[in-house]
Structure 1
């Protein structure tokens, strides 16, 4: 009986904390995060390939209308209302004709600044992978087999 009362008490406590918004709710950003500098570089007459290299893959490219690309982005701040922004590119014969819509110009810049807060404060070399090589560990340089040995089987069947 005491287990049941204790379980119900913990459940009521959890529900009351959730309803008071004491539980952390993160910011959610989905879709394409467009930069103002990139959008300013778009010019009528650019090819689809040039736009693809500049802006990246669109969120929505319908197979029924290959001349329209939509860059869709949604943002929700701490469980609040969802903001939906779209930026539409229209092509004619694989050349950019028109751009229309809005994007998160101010919000995107702020998000980039906020994300830099959480980067590591120590130097990270992302080309090395997960494990870095130490200078005095000679066995890690040649895979632990020693110099002159090979793991390839050069003999035939």
Structure 2
């Protein structure tokens, strides 16, 4: 009986904390995150291949309409309203003819800048610990690295 009362008490405490928003709710970003300077490089007359190299793969590529690519991004800040941004590229004979959309509303560039704060702000040696960069374990120094000859005795 005491165990049931304790469990119900913890459940009530959890619900009250959730309703007060004391529980952390993360920002959710999904879809394509495009930089304005990248989109500004789009020009009518570019081929699909050139656009693909510049922009990356579209979020939506319908098999029924090969002449339209949609880049879609959704953002939800701390459990609030979901903001949807779209950029539609229209092609004719594999050549870009038109761009439409509201992808760069007022705060889209701020979103791109906010992603930079999650990158390391201190010097990082990305090759440290990489065994393919040479050194004593590369086997080129003639030392015994476990891959030498074994006579079986």
Name the TM tier (shorter chain): 0.7 to 0.9
User: Within the alignment, does 1:23 sit opposite 2:20 as a pair?
Assistant: no
CA RMSD, aligned part only? 2.8
1:40-59 to 2 correspondence within 5 Å? 40-59=40-59
Structure 1 residues 141 and 106: alpha-carbon distance in aligned structure 2, compared to 1, 3 A threshold: farther
Q: Residue 148 of structure 1: CA displacement?
A: 9.3
Query: Which residue number in structure 2 is paired with residue 155 of structure 1?
Result: none
Contact in 2 for aligned 1:91/1:97 (Cα 8 Å)? yes
Encode CA deviations 1:2-35: one digit per residue, 9 max, x unaligned. 1111111111100110111111111111101111
CA–CA separation in structure 1 for the residues paired with 2:125 and 2:90: 40
Is there any run of 5+ residues in structure 1 with no aligned partner, and where?
Answer: 153-157
Query: Which residue number in structure 2 is paired with residue 98 of structure 1?
Result: 98
- Output the TM-score relative to the length of structure 2: 0.82
Q: Residue 141 of structure 1: CA displacement?
A: 3.3
Query: Which residue number in structure 1 is paired with residue 139 of structure 2?
Result: 142
SS at match of 1:42: coil
- Aligned pair count reads 147
SS at match of 2:116: helix
Question: Which 4+ stretches in 1 moved above 6 angstroms?
Answer: none
- Output the TM-score relative to the length of structure 1: 0.80
Encode CA deviations 1:106-150: one digit per residue, 9 max, x unaligned. 434323332333333432233x27x356xxxx5433399826985
Q: Residue 37 of structure 1: CA displacement?
A: 0.5
CA–CA separation in structure 1 for the residues paired with 2:99 and 2:14: 48
Is there any run of 5+ residues in structure 2 with no aligned partner, and where?
Answer: none
Q: Residue 151 of structure 1: CA displacement?
A: 6.2
